[in-house]
Amino acid sequence: MDNIFKMIEDLDSNSTVGDFKSILKLYKEDSDASLLKKDEEVKELTKKMQELIEASIKRSAEASIIIQPNELHNKFFHAAMHDEMDDVLKFNGKMIKNDEGWTEKNWDINKKSALGTVLRGDTTTGSYLVPVAYEAEVFRLAKDASVMMGKVRSIDMATRDIYWPAENAFPSLTWVTGETTAKTETSPTFAQIHLECETCAAWLTVTDELLEDSLVNLGDFFKMQFVEAWGQEFDKQVLNSNASPFTGVLHNSSVNVVNMGAGKVNFEDVEFDDLIDMETAISTAKGERALAGASYILHRKTFNSLKKKKDDNGMPIYMKPSEGVPATLNSYPYIISDQMPSTSVEDTGFIALGNPKYWIHGNRIGMQFRTYNNTIRNVDYDQIFYKFRIRQGFVAGIAEAFAVLKTADSS
């Protein structure tokens, strides 16, 4: 090949078209031989890749193949089959050297960079790009991990804080007993609901070697774990969070509290009469309309305790042996949640009743999953960082429309 470039450099004004064609013919013959050799190398590489992939699939049913061998072979082959004449014209008669690259893009089968670069948002921090269809799947998984997501009222937050006026007290009406009797002035009062968002985040570190040697897509795996963890955290903040950072139904000071009878300090002591008392508490505090759309919310262990309750004849009160599990509990739907308490503690709320739509969830920033692979830690220690981040808020819309059943105080 070097002698061909020397012949090109020796061309002058006395050279003929025939001289140029002769040089081009020699070049094409040499290039064809070189391409044929590289094509054989690619075929050999493809064969080895196919054997490796087949062995990997046998070892793991979860093998994740980013690019198929035939696809890889085609990419290399088409990259090699460039038009030499176009190159001659483009470089003003100076052909590019074969060892510099196969095209002006400098593709080289022996270079890892020839396979492409990692998708990233910018040159500093790599964003994990999620297609629309896949993003929908991510949110579906979060909803599957949560029983309250989709049941509470969710709104988008354009700012960090949102304030609403809320009903506090109705105006009072009086009857006028005579034409000259003075009318009584009344003043309805209002409360204020404050929804504030907070940031929830987590991150983890893996090495380049772990990602290279893994047969599964660890990026997707970590994403799914973060998403499912958020689904559980969502339920915790709605139901059982105690100012960490939000206050859930069980710990809200404005909900209606129904205390079990003296000595009933265990969750297993719950009776159906206690559930009826919860309904009465809501109806008394906010009126019968507040019970519309209400559901009982409890842990599976507590629910099973109710299913075990028997009448004086030893027959199950709730579920008859010949029947399936009813869809309601005391005529109200029920929600089973892992975030409700399952271990008996005295003076503790463990069953809730209310319409989930009266609890508000604010979405300031949705789920973010980012990859940081251009840091000094990656240079020094081959470390890659994955970060999950979300900004959300929770607040009671109408706390008085909820009732909580608590165990008795042993004192």
For every residue of 167-236, DSSP letters joined together read EEEPPP-----STTPPPPP---EEEEEEEE-EEEEEEEEEEHHHHHH-SS-HHHHHHHHHHHHHHHHHHH
Inter-residue contact 38 to 109 (CB < 8 Å): yes
CA angle (127 as vertex; 202, 147 as ends), nearest 5 = 45
- The whole-number pLDDT of residue 23 equals 66
CA 297 to chain centroid, in Å, comes to: 24
Average pLDDT, consecutive stretches of 10 residues, N- to C-terminus, the chain (411 residues): 62 63 68 63 64 56 40 42 39 37 40 38 38 49 78 94 81 84 83 93 90 79 88 96 95 97 95 96 94 97 93 82 78 95 96 97 93 90 92 96 95 70
| Beta-carbon contacts of residue 185 (< 8 Å; ≥ 6 apart) | none
DSSP state of 158: S
* Cα distance between residue 118 and residue 395, in whole Å: 41
Reduced to 3 states (helix: H, G, I; strand: E, B; else coil), residue 369 is strand
For strands 383-396 and 332-336, give the pairing. Answer: unpaired
What is the token pair recorded at 369? 């999953």
0.85 surpassed by pTM: no
- The whole-number pLDDT of residue 36 equals 62
CA angle (230 as vertex; 215, 65 as ends), nearest 5 = 15
Topology adopted by domain 120-411:
Major capsid protein gp5 fold (3.30.2400)
Inter-residue contact 348 to 406 (CB < 8 Å): yes
| Beta-carbon contacts of residue 311 (< 8 Å; ≥ 6 apart) | 317
Maximal CA-CA distance, the chain:
127
Amino acid at 124: T
- The whole-number pLDDT of residue 214 equals 75
* Cα distance between residue 384 and residue 225, in whole Å: 17
- The whole-number pLDDT of residue 38 equals 60
- The whole-number pLDDT of residue 87 equals 39
* Cα distance between residue 405 and residue 277, in whole Å: 9
**Position of tokens 């309601």?**
328
Inter-residue contact 371 to 228 (CB < 8 Å): no
